[in-house]
Structure 1
Amino acid sequence: MTVGMSIDPKLLLSNFSTISLVLGLLIIGKTLLVTLIGRVFGVSTIAAVRVGLMLAPGGEFAFVAFGDAVNQGLLSPQLSSLLFLVVGISMALTPWLAAGGQFLASKFEQHDVRSLLPVESETDDLQDHIIILGFGRVGQIIAQLLSERLIPFVALDVRSDRVAVGRALDLPVYFGDAGSREVLHKVGAERACAAAITLDTPGANYRAVWALSKYFPNVKTFVRAHDVDHGVNLEKAGATAVVPETLEPSLQLAAAVLSQAKLPTSEIAATINEFRNRHLSELTELCATTGSSLGYGFSRVMSMSKSKPLTSDDESESVDGALAI
């Protein structure tokens, strides 16, 4: 309100060309300056330009500085009013400058992403390979393990920065939607033997499992679940095996804490294994109630239980097998 009341419309009309010139110099100058500083500090060019456009308008402190300069006799009231107009108009342009930066970023990103899309000719020689859907931390670990064993794989992700990381390591990582039939076809899903699904959101994991189950039923799908309900939904969508994303990391963290408490290594291992077996046994009971295997390898365990009672040794072996899966 204060800024608006200080603007003189007559001054804007009478000095329109001067105000336009100063306004252009302010926005262009600050954009170039911030872009240069961003590049010096390692920010990408397009990101630096976006930041420059968003910081190009003048700030509220200018009004305080101009008012004080007038009181000190450093600026004339007429020049101060002119600068008030320039800063006020530049602030009003902020949403359009931000939108312009977003538009430029989307154009550059679309151009960059084209080179990251999968090309069918690049994967037509793959056979019985693994598809990694999601190249985040978990997907990168899986890719490293497969690379060390010379097992062929191809990875997909919708984040271009992750794809760029994989490409920098000379890995077959492509940009694409894991739930798209066309994209899955381009990475040779009809010839793949398995898929490791490690996407960031439960919904994305579900879409990927559903698409593979519907269009490429030959692919065994191994997916992480956020919780039991999510695991049940994933299995209903066609997942071969569902792995809880919190169980093993939690047990490893607990083992580290117990070691700090000076417990013997053998006692720590026994405690961790006991909790794991109890947790999986509870899930087994839940599976028997709901008629779902949750993909932990319990299909085999439950079929065995129908033929003979499980001994403690059998249960341990079955759980180990499930964890191996």
Structure 2
Amino acid sequence: MDHSLLQNALIYLLAAVVAVPIAKRLGLGAVLGYLLAGIAIGPWGLGLISGVENLLHFSEFGVVLLLFLIGLELEPKRLWAMRRPIFGGGGAQVLLVAAALAGTALLFGIDWKVALIAALGLSLSSTAIALATLEERNLMATPAGAAGFSILLFQDIAAIPMIAIVPMLGVSSGQDSTSWVDAARIIAVIAALVLGGRFLIRPALRMIAGTGMREIFTAFALLLVIAIAMLMQWVGLSMALGTFLAGVLLADSEYRHALESDLEPFKGLLLGLFFTAVGMSVDFAVFLAQPWRILGMVVLFLVIKGLVLYLLAMKLGVARGQRALFAFVLAQGGEFAFVVFGAAATARVFSQEQAAVLVVTVTLSMMATPLLLLWHDKVIAPRHAAGKQRPDDKPEAKEDHVIIAGFGRFGQIVGRLLHANGVSLTVLDHDPDQIDLLRRFGFKVFYGDATRIDLLHAAGAAGARALVLAIDDVEDSLKLVDAAREVFPDLPILARARNVSHYYDLMDRGVTVIERETFESALLLGRRVMQHLGASAWQARQATMKFRAHTLKSLLDVYPYYRDQQQYVSMARQARDELEAMFARDAAARGEKRRGGWDD
């Protein structure tokens, strides 16, 4: 085994584990933590890791995974509903910022190709920094958050054609232009990707999910992304472009959230490695050689981009008090700028020095973001605090729906009743056949383990009216309650209990609305037996309701003692004796019973 590989992995993981929590605690964000970790262990820090270029190339797979997951978010219906803010606001942001930056660069005598690619790359913001900031400040549901998310979504889409056009502006290698054979091969691969995503990948996912082995599903998800990336690289196209297209094709699949959940840890770790590698690759010799020039570029870049964003916020309906925050959140350079500049250096649009200067500029702009936000909180925000909150500052209403976890024999009845009465449902289940059936009847259904918090988040548990717990397995049921109580404390939970012990375990966890799965149906059958034996409908109902009330009362009376086995048995016997005495009194009051029947 290569011990240098293990040594580098140890250093990388140790740096990340130390730097990222510290950065998060200081309010700097995880991305900056990774960047600082890279600087610390890189050539300009402690010099603990060499071969930064190889690490950077490997870590770019994190960007590939990010594009795949972004594609999974772009469900055609959702994309169509958001088309105006995404393509209107997002398109305007990229074009206006790029035009302003390119125009400024041309005024300084920069070559038009360099100015264009640099401006396009700098028009992109950091998705990781911006989204984390919006979520931390609970702004995602406000107009500022919605506009910011739309712009970031468009930027992620726009990064793909940006990366694709860079080689077209590069220096010719002396070879002929792409042949018809190469063009046909590219078209054939894209067509195969589209058709395969629709007719082959989904059945394969269903078959893999049917095995019930989560690790195999995760392995297939990684295999899918790697295979598509290598296929696109083979035909000379961007790996990110291929995985993005695959993600879009699977965006309306019932396995989308399971794919997201399984790939998210790999994406986060590899993106962290990518940011660390970027930090290690920052050439501080360039900064030390011309510090004032680079600092001037950073300030000029932030001012131009921030001013365009502030003016654009006025047109996007962002509240006045949030416009500066909106501009500061999106003003920095983004992670895709590193990819664009790297592609430009490879295609020889940029010199190595120009690429290094721009990488340092973007990195410093990222590091400046927490300072801008701190300035906003201390100086700008207090000026707006005295004013009343405008109606458009209020978060938008969350989706009104009920989540049903488990759609077996019990959950089906609950779901059909609610669905028949116009209640919007979201179903969580791990049976591929069941999922396929539900989707055909128009249910919103997610494949996966309902006890996983990421799946609950994806299903909209934060805004749900209630969670109906209908899972068969008792341990999984209790695990789900524990997870939901911890992350969604305000989410009402209505549960099905398999038995008395399960009932008590649910009560221990604060669940108050519980139905024993066989209790009511057994009562109904017993009531019908009494009628069959001669009791009137009224007598059968009264006897059943009295038995029901006594049983439920006894259940609650015994609850404080159910962990004490001796006391529990004693209380249960006492409850049974009371029930027998109660029926004896009823019989005496009613008179002597007929043999084999009841008096009318």
- For this pair of structures, how many residues does the alignment match? 186
State the match for 1:216 in structure 2.
488
State the match for 1:117 in structure 2.
255
Match for residue 181 of structure 1 among 429, 448, 453: 453
Superposed, 1:260-279 pairs within 5 Å as 260-279=532-551
More relative contact order, 1 or 2 (CA 8 Å, 6+ apart): 2
Q: 2:448 & 2:397 partners in 1: Cα distance? A: 19
CA contact (8 A) 2:428 2:446 kept: yes
Match for residue 233 of structure 1 among 491, 500, 505: 505
CA shift, 1:280, in A, is 1.2
CA contact (8 A) 2:429 2:448 kept: yes
State the match for 1:143 in structure 2.
415
State the match for 2:208 in structure 1.
106
CA contact (8 A) 2:257 2:447 kept: no
Matched residue SS, 1:263:
coil
Paired letter, 2:506 = L
Query: Which residues of structure 1 form unaligned runs of 5+?
Result: 1-103, 292-325
Q: 1:220 & 1:108 partners in 2: Cα distance? A: 31
Runs of 4+ in 1 over 4 A off after TM superposition: 107-112, 288-291
CA shift, 1:156, in A, is 0.4
CA contact (8 A) 1:258 1:268 kept: yes
Q: 1:284 & 1:273 partners in 2: Cα distance? A: 17
Structure 1 residues 157 and 216, CA, compared in 2 at 3 Å: closer, same or farther?
A: same
Paired letter, 2:411 = G
CA RMSD of aligned residues (A): 3.1
Match for residue 442 of structure 2 among 162, 170, 177: 170
Q: 1:174 & 1:107 partners in 2: Cα distance? A: 12
Matched residue SS, 1:242:
strand
CA contact (8 A) 1:223 1:241 kept: yes
CA contact (8 A) 1:220 1:240 kept: no
CA shift, 1:118, in A, is 5.2
Matched residue SS, 1:154:
strand
CA contact (8 A) 2:210 2:431 kept: no
Q: 2:486 & 2:442 partners in 1: Cα distance? A: 31
Query: Which residues of structure 2 form unaligned runs of 5+?
Result: 1-205, 212-216, 222-249, 259-395, 564-600
Q: 1:117 & 1:267 partners in 2: Cα distance? A: 52
State the match for 1:133 in structure 2.
405
Identity, % of aligned pairs?
27
Higher helix share: 2
CA shift, 1:223, in A, is 0.9
Q: 2:467 & 2:538 partners in 1: Cα distance? A: 36
Match for residue 286 of structure 1 among 558, 572, 576: 558
CA shift, 1:128, in A, is 3.4
Superposed, 1:1-325 pairs within 5 Å as 105-106=207-208, 115-117=253-255, 127-287=399-559, 289=561
CA contact (8 A) 2:410 2:517 kept: no
CA shift, 1:290, in A, is 6.4
Deviations 1:38-72 (A, max 9, x none): xxxxxxxxxxxxxxxxxxxxxxxxxxxxxxxxxxx
CA contact (8 A) 1:135 1:163 kept: no
- Normalised to the residue count of structure 2, the TM-score between the two structures is 0.29
Q: 1:139 & 1:125 partners in 2: Cα distance? A: 27
Matched residue SS, 2:542:
helix
CA contact (8 A) 1:118 1:187 kept: no
- Normalised to the residue count of structure 1, the TM-score between the two structures is 0.51
